[in-house]
Amino acid sequence: MIDSEKEYLNSLKEILEQGEHRDDRTGVGTISQFGIQLNFDLSKGFPAITTKKLAWKAVVSELLWFIEGSGDEFRLREILHGNRYSEKETIWTQNATASYWTTKRLQRHPGDLGRIYGVQWRRWRKPLIRINKVVLQNHDQLLELVEGLKKDPNSRRHILSAWNPGELEIMALPPCHMMAQFYVSNDRKLSCHMYQRSADMFLGVPFNIASYALFTHMLAQVCDFEVGKLVISFGDAHIYKNHVDLVKLQLSRKPFVLPKLILNTDVKDITKFTMDDISLDNYQSHDSIKADMAV
């Protein structure tokens, strides 16, 4: 069994066997544990889950969407489909159309998700003190992160945050993966430690693992580092009760060898990656396992 996937599968098994049954916001109900951590050595293969098929293009397009700083679900459709708009839904469509969001009447246009992840990454509102008044200006956390990694790799302040308490009410969904800290070792390997407050372990977490592994690789390339570790700490790690049988099916499967990530080495600007610059080599997996997302 492949070590990185074994960590994830063991966490599923542990939650099923030891988790507590809880009510939740969606009304579906969960089996939950608090405070789980997964570790992946990115130098030993890309941690794409193989015991069910990973929606790879959805992972890549969403991360590029975050990096672009967009909060528009229609823009995500364009990125996913080669900068052409499509009527096909994305993983964010249900959130963009959910009644708990649309009834707030905060959408500027259909597809608007408010000030979610990418908006916070690229346009965090920063107070600027002027004479006798305070005005707001945009603060680009992502470009600051890249500059900091290059200029002061030993800093303990390489942090990217999506959790903005003052703006949670103007987001279609408060961020689940809230914060990431990056660390450059003495042998110039870039590692990432991400904290996720709420983790749908079956449906969402394989996606999150792949996304932050990809992000770490991209940052390493543009900053001229090798890759180190990906560490993910979960707060409320849960399995929805309508996913239990599907989890058991996944646990019955044997993992394949991990694939290799291929990036276009000509890209040296974190904002310049496209769908065509990113691929997985030799990704083998079992069939996908379809499941409903709790909204």
192 is catalytic: no
Give the burial class of 114: count Cβ atoms within 10 A of its Cβ; 0-12 exposed, 13-18 middle, 19 or more buried.
buried
Strands 133-139 and 278-281: unpaired
Instruction: Calculate Rg over the CA atoms of the chain.
Output: 19
CA angle 178, 180, 182 (to 5 degrees): 175
Query: Which amino acid, residue 35?
Result: G
In sequence order, the β-bridge partners of residue 230 are 40, 192
Tell me which residue has tokens 């346009």. Answer: 123
- Tokens linked to 90: 């994305």
Pairing of the two strands 226-240 and 260-263: unpaired
Q: Which of 114, 93, 238, 258 is nearest to 172 (CA)?
A: 114
58: Cβ contacts below 8 Å, ≥ 6 apart: 80, 90, 91, 207
Bridge partners (DSSP) of residue 111 are: none
Task: Pick the catalytic residue from 59, 146, 176, 213.
Answer: 176
Q: Which helix (H) or strand (E) holds 246?
A: helix 244-251
Active site residues: 176
